[in-house]
Every structure is written in structure tokens, then in C-alpha cells.
Copies of this chain bind each other. A is one copy, B any other.
Amino acid sequence: MKPDAVRGHLDGLILAVLESGPLHGYAIIEALQARSGGALDLPTGTVYPALRRLERAALVSGAWSTVGGRQRRTYTLTRAGRHALARQRAEWAEFSSVVDAVLRPRTIPEAAS
């Protein structure tokens, strides 16, 4: 998939994978890969800043922990995050149906000749 395609929808995707339970950043990237059948392979430079953005917006809350000597920052969906996710889903439904409608091929009158 072309890079940049997720623009404007990344937040919703992250919130969606966090719905099933808290995850740390690296695991979020893997979860997105898994759920998309490998199509979504987001670089850390995309996801980590997004998580900080979501945390600033109070849609997720982050907490440090140490697992196997490695630092982890585990993110949990907040109540506001849950509402935001519902909103994102509704917006996506509308958006995708609009694009579907516009993109759908019309029956083209057969060319003369």
C-alpha cells in the first residue's frame, strides 16, 4: 500500500487495536500488521509520534514498565479514547461510503462507431 495512505485515519487504527487491551508501541505495530494481513507496515517514526499525540489528547494513557531488562511504554485506551474510537468508526463509515459512491464506475454509454 502506498505510504501516506493512512493519513487522517491512523489515530482510529491505533485506537482500534488498543480496544482489545493495553499494548506497547512495538506491539501496536505488530498488531496492525496482523490485523491487516501484512498490508500495514508502519514505521516507528510514524507510530511513536502518533502515540504521543494521542496521549497529549488524553485518548490513551501511557505507563512505563520494564520487561526483560527493556523499557516499555504501555498504552491504555481512556474513556475519551473509547468515545473517539466510536466517532472515528462513524466518520470512516461515512467517508468510505462517499468515496465508494464517487469512485464507483458509471455505466458508460457505448461509444458510437
A residues whose Cβ falls under 8 Å from a Cβ of B? 1-2, 4-9, 12-13, 16-17, 19-20, 32, 35-37, 39-40, 88-89, 91-92, 94-96, 98-106, 108
Contacts and interface: CB of A to CB of B under 8 A. Distances in A.
B12 A103 contact: yes
Contacts of A4: 8
Copies of this subunit? 2
Contacts of A101: 35-37
A39 B103 contact: no
A47 to B, nearest CB: 13
A41 to B, nearest CB: 11
Given A8-B5, A108-B20, A92 B103 contact: yes
Nearest to A100: B96
